[in-house]
Amino acid sequence: MTFKKILIANRGEIALRIHRACQEMGIGTVAIHSTADSEAMHVRLANESVCIGPAAAKDSYLKIPAILSAATISAVDAIHPGVGFLSENAEFAAMVEEHHFAFIGPTPEHIRIMGDKITAKETIKNLGIPVVPGSEGTLTSLKEALKSAEHIGYPVIIKATSGGGGKGMKVAYNSSELEESLRLAKSEASVNFGNDEVYLEKYLGKPRHIEVQIIADTFGNVLHLGERDCSLQRRHQKVWEEAPSPALDETRRVQLGEMVRQAISKMGYRGVGTLEFLYEKGKFYFIEMNTRLQVEHPITEMITGIDLVREQIRVAMGKPLTLRQEDIKFLGHAIECRINAEHPETFMPSPGRITEYHTPGGLGVRVDSGLYSGYQILPYYDSLVSKLIVHGDNRQQCIQRLRRALDEYVISGVETLLPLHKRLATEPDVIAGQYDIHWLEKMLKGEVDQAA
Ligand code: ADP
For residue 392, the domain's CATH number is 3.30.470.20
pLDDT of res. 451: 58
For ligand 1, the distance from its centroid to the CA atom of residue 166, given in whole angstroms, is 7
Which residue's CA lies nearest to atom 11 of ligand 1? 236
Ligand 1 atom index nearest CA of 168: 3
Ligand 1 atom index nearest CA of 134: 23
Q: Are residues 364 and 235 in the same domain?
A: yes
As to burial, measured by CB atoms within 10 angstroms (0-12 exposed, 13-18 middle, 19+ buried), residue 329 is exposed
In this structure, the number of other CB atoms found within 10 A of the CB of residue 126 comes to: 10
Q: What is the rounded average pLDDT of the residues 185-202? A: 93
Protein residues whose CB sits closer than 6 Å to any atom of ligand 1 = 132, 157, 163-167, 201-204, 207, 209, 233, 236, 276, 278, 287-288, 437
Q: Are residues 238 and 190 in the same domain?
A: no
The answer on pLDDT for 450 being more than 90 is no
Q: Are residues 156 and 224 in the same domain?
A: no
- Split into its structural domains, the chain has a count of 3
Which residue's CA lies nearest to atom 13 of ligand 1? 236
* 166 — pLDDT class (breaks 50, 70, 90): confident
d(CA 371, CA 133): 43
Q: What CATH number has the domain bearing residue 186?
A: 3.30.1490.20
Dihedrals φ, ψ of 441, to 5°? -65, -35
Q: Are residues 348 and 416 in the same domain?
A: yes
Ligand 1 atom index nearest CA of 285: 23
Q: Are residues 72 and 150 in the same domain?
A: no
Residue 128 belongs to some domain of the structure: no
Residue 192 belongs to some domain of the structure: yes
The answer on pLDDT for 7 being more than 60 is yes
Q: What CATH number has the domain bearing residue 12?
A: 3.40.50.20
Count of CA atoms in the C-beta half-sphere (13 A) of 117: 27
Q: Are residues 226 and 189 in the same domain?
A: no
Q: Are residues 168 and 240 in the same domain?
A: no
Residue 289 belongs to some domain of the structure: yes
Active site residue 253: no
Final residue of a domain: which of 202, 219, 247? 202
Q: Of 12, 22, 80, which is closest to residue 44 (Cα–Cα)?
A: 12
Q: What is the rounded average pLDDT of the residues 158-167? A: 90
Q: Is the dihedral of CA 181, 187, 190, 192 positive or negative?
A: negative
> Which parts of 277-436 fold into alpha helices (H)?
297-304, 308-316, 395-408, 418-424, 428-431
60 touches 34 (CB < 8 A): yes
Q: Are residues 293 and 145 in the same domain?
A: no
What are the pLDDT digits (tens) for 271-307? 999 999 999 999 999 999 999 999 999 999 999 999 9
Residue 49 belongs to some domain of the structure: yes
Q: What is the rounded average pLDDT of the residues 182-192? A: 93
Q: Are residues 325 and 402 in the same domain?
A: yes
Residue 451 belongs to some domain of the structure: no
* 168 — pLDDT class (breaks 50, 70, 90): confident
* 46 — pLDDT class (breaks 50, 70, 90): very high
* 268 — pLDDT class (breaks 50, 70, 90): very high
Beta bridge partners of 285: 278
Final residue of a domain: which of 202, 229, 255? 202
pTM for the whole structure: 0.97
Give the CA distances from residue 195 to residues 86, 135, 138, 140, in Å, rounded to whole numbers and listed in that order. 17, 18, 12, 13
**Structural domain span for residue 158:** 133-202
Residue 121 belongs to some domain of the structure: no
The answer on pLDDT for 452 being more than 70 is no
Residue 66 belongs to some domain of the structure: yes
Q: Are residues 261 and 355 in the same domain?
A: yes
Final residue of a domain: which of 154, 184, 202? 202
Q: Are residues 333 and 430 in the same domain?
A: yes
What are the pLDDT digits (tens) for 314-356? 999 999 999 999 999 999 999 999 999 999 999 999 999 999 9
Query: Catalytic residue among 292, 314, 338, 366, which?
Result: 292
Dihedrals φ, ψ of 396, to 5°? -60, -45
For ligand 1, the distance from its centroid to the CA atom of residue 414, given in whole angstroms, is 30
* Residues listed for the chain: 452
What are the pLDDT digits (tens) for 357-414? 999 999 999 999 999 999 999 999 999 999 999 999 999 999 999 999 999 999 999 9
Residue 245 belongs to some domain of the structure: yes
Which residue's CA lies nearest to atom 1 of ligand 1? 164
For ligand 1, the distance from its centroid to the CA atom of residue 239, given in whole angstroms, is 14
For ligand 1, the distance from its centroid to the CA atom of residue 237, given in whole angstroms, is 9
Ligand 1 atom index nearest CA of 202: 23
pLDDT of res. 30: 98
Q: Are residues 314 and 389 in the same domain?
A: yes
